[in-house]
Amino acid sequence: MPELPEVETIRRELEPLVRDKTIRGVRIERSDIIGFPAPDMFARAILGQRIAELGRRGKYLLVRLCAGTVVRQLLVVHLRLSGQLAVHAARTRPLRFERVRFLLSGGECLVFIEPRVLGRVYLVEEDHLPDVLGGLRHMGLEPIQPEFDAAYLRRKVGHRSARIKALLLDQRIAAGVGNIYSDEALFRAGINPNRPGDALRPREIERLAAALRDVLLEGIKHLGTSMRDSRYRRPNHLPGGFQKLLQVFGREGEPCRICGSEIVACTIANRTSRYCPRCQRR
């Protein structure tokens, strides 16, 4: 699933291609991709809206729309496991796995591609998120925000008996963090993913908060992570580059680059977690 660095990369590279373009039409190939409102209402309400800017919250892409000069609506895009966004000439034939096509002024179109049909797009009022977007409404801080410090992380995990890897995947705690960057941050902090949150010492929480921030910023710097089995691609169809720097994610069975021990895998919160049993003994 695209995590914070991937969605931020998409936001940065897509915005200059679509900013100030007006949505002249929409073609919905799969109605179940429209999460809110009903597809016919969605298609009518978005016509004539101008794309003012692109924002992001956690793993959600937020396209701010305006009629005139006032931003009133958000086009919220949740890419989920395999969603992609790309800009093409409006006359381009339907693409494989194309789900929604937004026809833009200037003879171009913004296409939402989703092979697994898990991603969703929503059209909502900026100041009112429906219940279907409760995950966005109740999201916690992002580790790249200044307010996400050791004190914040201690308040969120210091009293919890759940394993720290599962806690980091909770978007109410660490918004934008998923399987890749939680594994990498825990490795950098020298913390075993099976440790309970309430077993972490203050110094370990400090290291983890810093590691989360650092690994996400590096992921952004290197334009996200594209694994061989990942469908994440940037709007220009090129891959990211952070996979070259991964220490544990996707490397089970391979030697640790620090100590030479074999990277192992386990299942936590129904996700495969990777770690070094020596560098992350505790």
- Catalytic residue annotation: 2-3, 59, 271
Sheet holding 70-78, edge to edge: 34-36, 120-125, 70-78, 60-67, 50-57
- Report the alpha-carbon distance of residue 79 to residue 97 in Å, rounded: 13
Q: For residue 263, give the DSSP letter.
A: P
- Report the alpha-carbon distance of residue 76 to residue 255 in Å, rounded: 41
Sequence-ordered list of residues with C-beta below 8 angstroms from that of 199, at least 6 positions apart, any chain: none
- Report the alpha-carbon distance of residue 78 to residue 61 in Å, rounded: 7
How many C-beta atoms lie closer than 10 Å to residue 147's C-beta?
A: 8
Ramachandran angles phi, psi of 171, nearest 5° = -70, -15
Sequence-ordered list of residues with C-beta below 8 angstroms from that of 211, at least 6 positions apart, any chain: 184, 185, 186, 188, 189
